[in-house]
Structure 1
Amino acid sequence: MKRFIVSGIVILFLFFCSSSITSAENNGVKVAFIRNHNLWIKVGEKEKQITKGEYITGPKWSHNGEWLAYAKGKKRNHFELYRLKDGKKVRPSQSEASNYQWSPTENIIAFVFARTLNTFDAEKKKADFENVANGVGDYAWYPDGKKFLVSSEAYLLPTGWTGAQLYEIQKDANMNPHKMKHLYALPNEHDDFLALVGSGFNWSPDQKWISFLAVPTASLSADSNTLCLIRSDGSRFETVDQMLLNTQWFKWAPSKNILAYIEGSGRVALENKHLKIKELPALQQNTFTPKGYVDWDFTWKNENVIIVSRAKEAELSVPLEKRPLPSLYEINSTTDEQHQITKPSNSQGDYNPIFSKKSNQLMWLRSNRKKADVWLAHNDGKHEKKWIENIDVPEWYYEKWNWEDVVSVKDE
């Protein structure tokens, strides 16, 4: 009788674990991914191939998950839109275009062509793109979707480089300078600071601060860029730290003015990459990476807890097959408690953690450097399950991968 009861408890436990793990498949989480250079999506339990025989990268969901944008061609200089409900495909511009970004509030996408910022309304019939502003080095939508934060590019004087200029530009500016407001002039070149352009603008939860990277010349930016903060009204500016050119490596906590980022100069990701946090308005930073390790991709689980992809530190001279691969670690930023939550095989590593609010689950990519799979687990990393197989591995640079090139998750 006792054996029967124990067996029943075990069966129920396994059933509830299985039910919990499959919740991401049933709660509307959408995943776009690249497989054999083609675009696929997974919604619920169904996978669907969207493109065939094309070289696709950089999938990006619209704010409501109704549209998907993606780059076409190895040069990534054209992009296309796909509507999920009917399979409609739209090409906003026949010319070369890059740096496409969806509005956070509407199915309107912005992009850059020949340093001109443009917008395209995906819902309008027979719509054409509209010019917004010239002289754009980089940009981001404001959280309200009504305007852009734009960075110009710096220029070289006999005395050295100027700093990039930041502007607040209305969405409907249509090249009208009266709808453009100068926000801040980044400092001119001095000591080790050089800002040819500002990139990766990201607002704090209360929208009072903006984090971004001051990017120097192409050769210098491969090794180091300056993480900066500016008050949203332009009244205060400060430099925070040095880091690689990866806009996924600095993120605000969900509802507090706490910025987490991966600090460390040098293009080799196997060395000198540390997870730090900075709480505003305080000036000090705290480091959470133990000696002998490096931290890479990360996500906030809640206001205090971070999930990070961590590997042992190594030199680039170590043969590829012997280089350490990462696992996921959970870090409590208030108590500094840390522990490993995934244990992949010796031939695989765990990258790019994503926390799903809808399903209260952890999602990540497990890869052997040749292919990758999406895995799911409870929010503590337990009861892991392979969910999507055979995803392309993006081009990597000194052990740094840009996983957003091959996967995009729509969770909200």
Structure 2
Amino acid sequence: MKIKLIMILACFFSAPQLFHAQQTLKPLNTAFIRDDNLWIKANQSEERLTNIGNISSPQWSFDGRRLLYQKGSSYETKHEVWVYDLKTHSHKKIAENGENPKWSPSSHLIAYVDQGSLNVSDLKDFYNVTFGVDDYAWLPDGTGFILSSSANLLPSGWTNPVLYKIKLNSSLSSQQSVENADEFFRIPKTLSKNQTSIMAIGASNFSFSPDGKWISFIVSPTASWSMDSNFVCVISIDGAQFEVLDEVISHLTSPGWAPGINSLAYIEGGGRIVFGFKNKHLKIKEIPVSQTLTPKNYAELAFTWISDDKLAVSRVRETEWSNDIMKQPLPQLYLVSTANTVQKRLTASGGNYDPFYIRSAAKLAWYKSISLTGHRDVWISNPDGSEAHLWVKNADSLTVFPK
């Protein structure tokens, strides 16, 4: 049974000498999915919070007081949205059906999409924000959203996908969806880069730069086509500057900004992994300069920012795909610097996937497995790979609070 975990920090770690800044470290508790139910763990004591099954997608509120989760199996068309309050030890159903629910970054408001309608709940009632939504993201200050509408097929051909900004009224009950929506960019119907072109059907995976002046996102073609080819793009917050960066695939690490500067990392290269462990390169877009950091004959599977000039990557030698997991390459973790060409291997043995950096603990964590889809344990170390040890057994889908 796949176990989904959410991690928040429970002990104190000392920051390694690799990074000289002093940090105030936070304590860490654990929330996770086991046997399709929601659990929490504190001081080595575990407590099951649900017994109804089919629980997924847990998320911490901005202050760690509440857990958002969904109920409904992958075969169901509806997924209920629920919240557990750690202070009152109570559960509350927020919505009968809510896709892609997300906490506000600054309050106990939850946004979700129901059949194309973007709604917001204050944990008591829900309010419609707007209609025709494909994907969305909260603005960094929690005052509204950036959202997309997908292209539609008409007798005259496909329309354009469109990006909007929309502000929330101080009184949610007075929200007027049409009046508040601001169209700020119409994506071209076809995007091209390096002899590759795709139809622009949808836009998703919005992420804001640290200064809030740029947004990265993924433009995708039709569903089956998008398994092999999408484009990562950036746009200025006023819509005046738009750039197609590179071809990417959707089931590797999403593009991610450095913690303090406008540097966007992503794994460039089309073609799903079953076509081979190849043509996947770590690239950095520092507005307006780009650089490639992957050595020849290697391919990247995932990355995480450690600081503004250092990343940890999960890397394999380029290899053809094999259905025999024993013939698939086992990735190693490397420390990569954007400031020089020094690249250091962090792990002593292979099978190291999906690294993620826990900034408030100054720790690097990753999954360890015998294959892409095998049983996974979570390991943790200092950012330089020292003091590596098993952290959590049989775990998947981790997220951290505080990050």
TM-score category (smaller protein):
0.7 to 0.9
Shift of 1:314: 2.0
Gaps of at least 5 residues in structure 1 are 1-17, 393-405
Matching residue of 1:164: 161
Q: Distance in 2 between matches of 1:387 and 1:29?
A: 13
Q: Distance in 2 between matches of 1:328 and 1:256?
A: 23
* Aligned mate of 1:350, from 349, 352, 371: 352
Describe the shift of the 1:263–1:183 C-alpha distance in structure 2 as closer, same or farther (beyond 3 A): same
Shift of 1:43: 4.1
TM-score for both structures, normalised by structure 1:
0.83
For residue 411 of structure 1, what is the amino acid of its counterpart? P
Shift of 1:231: 0.6
SS at match of 1:178: helix
Q: Distance in 2 between matches of 1:28 and 1:319?
A: 42
Matching residue of 1:216: 221
Asked if residue 251 in structure 1 is aligned to residue 256 in structure 2, the reply is yes
Describe the shift of the 1:130–1:386 C-alpha distance in structure 2 as closer, same or farther (beyond 3 A): same
Matching residue of 1:195: 200
Describe the shift of the 1:88–1:31 C-alpha distance in structure 2 as closer, same or farther (beyond 3 A): same
Q: Distance in 2 between matches of 1:247 and 1:372?
A: 17
Task: Tell me if structure 1 keeps the 8 A contact 2:258–2:305.
Answer: yes
TM-score for both structures, normalised by structure 2:
0.85
Task: Tell me if structure 2 keeps the 8 A contact 1:29–1:44.
Answer: no
Asked if residue 149 in structure 1 is aligned to residue 146 in structure 2, the reply is yes
Any runs of at least 4 consecutive aligned residues in structure 1 with deviations exceeding 6 A, and if so which? 21-24
Gaps of at least 5 residues in structure 2 are 1-10, 17-22
Matching residue of 1:54: 53
Asked if residue 278 in structure 1 is aligned to residue 285 in structure 2, the reply is yes
Q: Distance in 2 between matches of 1:30 and 1:245?
A: 30
Q: Distance in 1 between matches of 2:206 and 2:40?
A: 28
For residue 387 of structure 2, what is the amino acid of its counterpart? H
**C-alpha RMSD over aligned residues:** 2.5
Asked if residue 300 in structure 1 is aligned to residue 305 in structure 2, the reply is yes
Q: Distance in 2 between matches of 1:219 and 1:356?
A: 34
For residue 36 of structure 1, what is the amino acid of its counterpart? D
Matching residue of 2:73: 74
Matching residue of 1:104: 105
Shift of 1:246: 4.4
Deviations 1:109-128 (A, max 9, x none): 10000100001123xxxx12
Task: Tell me if structure 2 keeps the 8 A contact 1:251–1:259.
Answer: yes
Deviations 1:253-284 (A, max 9, x none): 111111100111101162221111011023xx
Matching residue of 1:383: 387
Deviations 1:193-241 (A, max 9, x none): 3221210111111111110001111011111111111110011111000
* Aligned mate of 1:289, from 275, 287, 294: 294
Instruction: Decide which structure has greater helix share.
Output: 1
* Aligned mate of 1:261, from 259, 266, 272: 266
For residue 373 of structure 1, what is the amino acid of its counterpart? D
SS at match of 1:177: helix
Matching residue of 1:113: 114
Describe the shift of the 1:28–1:43 C-alpha distance in structure 2 as closer, same or farther (beyond 3 A): farther
Shift of 1:158: 4.5
Describe the shift of the 1:290–1:43 C-alpha distance in structure 2 as closer, same or farther (beyond 3 A): farther
SS at match of 2:330: coil
* Aligned mate of 2:94, from 84, 92, 99: 92
Q: Distance in 2 between matches of 1:84 and 1:365?
A: 28
